[in-house]
Amino acid sequence: MIGKLLKRFASVSRARTGEERSIVVEGARKATGGKGKARIVMTMAVFFGIFSTISGRLVYLGFQTPDLSGGPQSRVTASRPDIVDRNGEVLATDIKTASLFAEPRRIVDADEAIEKLSTVLPEIDYEQTYHKLKSGAGFVWLQRQLTPKQQADIMQLGIPGFGFRTEKRRFYPSGETSSYVVGLTNIDNQGISGMEKYIDEQGLSDLQASGLAVAKDLRPVKLSIDLRIQHVVRDEIAAGLERYRAMGAGAVVLNVKTGELVAMASVPDFDPNNPYNAQDKDRLNRMSAGLYEMGSTFKSFTSAMALDSGKATMSSRFDASHPIRVGHQAIHDFHGKNRVLSLPEVFLYSSNIGSAREAELVGIEAHREFLHRLGILEKMQTELPEVARPTEPKVWKQVNSFTIAFGHGVSTTPLQAAVGCAALVNGGFLMQPTFLVRSQEDAMAAAKKVVTEKTVEGMRYLYSLNAEKGSARNARVPGYRVGGKTGTAEKVINGRYSKELNFNTFVAAFPMDDPQYLVFTIADAPHPEKPGMTDVAANNAGVMAGNIIRRSAAMLGVKPDFSHENGATLVSYQ
């Protein structure tokens, strides 16, 4: 009985508890319903405010002018066309390289970053780099044109905020061999010297500025240079520089039929792949940018002038028995014969007195006009930017004409002297020199007749005579009928003539029965090769010219002929 009562009580209690629980839950729902909606509305308002702020900021920035200072360039380094020699050998080309940049705003510890970076780039400037990394800029260059190993080593450092950008840089496979002709580009791949600069001036810089300099659209630029001959020339003058302990040396090989420069070199030079010393004082292209008094090589022009004037012939005679005195000055011969000389003897014995007499015969104005006619005293027009302007007296007096007749008193470039001599043997045509390939037809279309055929015949004879019996003997090469003329001039230092140092020149043409090529060599302040020898041009500049002809004539396509010697062309004048 009692057990039944307990069960009934338990069931009634459970029923009441369930009802109460339902009432409690329902009350809670009514109590919290208002608060939940408020929270949802509040959350939505917060998100709406955030997105509104972001949208407003984006709209604001869209109307602002972007700050590009210190940032990356709008394009990659512009492409350049390949430069090749006349046979298609590459002289300059673009290669890809990596450059290191930093984003200073992402740099956490500048000191630590520089310390790590210096383990790969020890030459980096600490203070300058520190200022860059602390500048707060969005982008700064740290090092341009890294090697692949440097790039890999820096990547291994794992420095946050550092990155790499692929750029183009110039590579010169021939190195120093053609450095003065091909030239240089700067860090942004823009031409700053040589033919590299010339190419920019012909419109490449405009294409680069407009972003149209695309590698696949740029055709190679073919030069008149023959890399094989260029190597021979550079090798011989570099050896001469050392052998004669000279201040400088140089040479050109010129095609007298077209005016093309087949080779031109000057030493000391530089490696365009690492031009750290390119701006040194002694790094000068002496052949086109150096001004010198040419000495007795100038007697080529004096004798040609006398013949071309019609006032002298091969039979003309000039009194060289005693010095010429003008005021307090006296003109002497170095190794005088102290007698009357024929015109060929004046040339053969390199008589200063005889040359002065030739100039006197022609007259001052005609003398000056002749040198200008041959371009010797005009600024040379050619593609190479590095060309010096010759100097001459403002007013020519008799003494000026006398000294200029044997190569003192005016200064010109060796290349201009070579071009002038070419006109004396190629038929009498002055051709502006070119570093680009040019046909004989195109050359003749622009050539200027400057001397007569009779003068040319006479000069070929004189050059041949001097190679057979005179100072050009050291340049003779069996089979190639070489003719030429030496020039030994006292070097001008600070406006005064040195009694100890010379500037020596040598001009040679071959084959003399129908010249095809001309070689012009210089030796700046040479010393005797051996004790007992002299430092005259025949012993240095002449030797270099002979070596260049010996090594290059066959490659130039000149066939040797051993059927006659240099003297065979003398018959008609004896």
Active-site residue set: 296
Which DSSP category does 421 fall into? H
Cα 227 → chain centroid: 15
Residue with tokens 């003997």: 473
Q: Tally Cβ neighbours within 10 Å of residue 526.
A: 27
Residue 241 has φ and ψ, to the nearest 5°, of -55, -45
Close Cβ partners of 415 (under 8 Å, ≥ 6 residues apart):
252, 264, 287, 288, 380, 433, 520
What tokens were used for 457? 């015949």
Backbone dihedral region for residue 479 (phi beyond 0: left; psi -120 to 50: alpha; all else: beta): left
What tokens were used for 484? 């030429």
What type of residue sits at position 522?
I
What type of residue sits at position 400?
N
Close Cβ partners of 36 (under 8 Å, ≥ 6 residues apart):
none
Q: Which helix (H) or strand (E) holds 145?
A: strand 140-146
Sign of the dihedral defined by the CA atoms of residues 201, 207, 211, 214, in that order: negative
Encode 380-407 in three state secondary structure. CCCCCCCCCCCECCCCCCHHHHHHHHCC
Q: Using alpha carbons, select from 315, 359, 352, 316 the residue that is nearest to residue 337.
A: 352
Q: What 3-state class would DSSP assign to 167?
A: strand
Cα 558 → chain centroid: 29
Q: What angle do CA 94, 98, 100 make, to 5 degrees?
A: 140
Distance CA 484, CA 566 (A): 11
What tokens were used for 266? 């000057």
410 and 391 in contact (C-beta within 8 Å)?
yes
Distance CA 73, CA 218 (A): 22
What tokens were used for 119? 């383990």
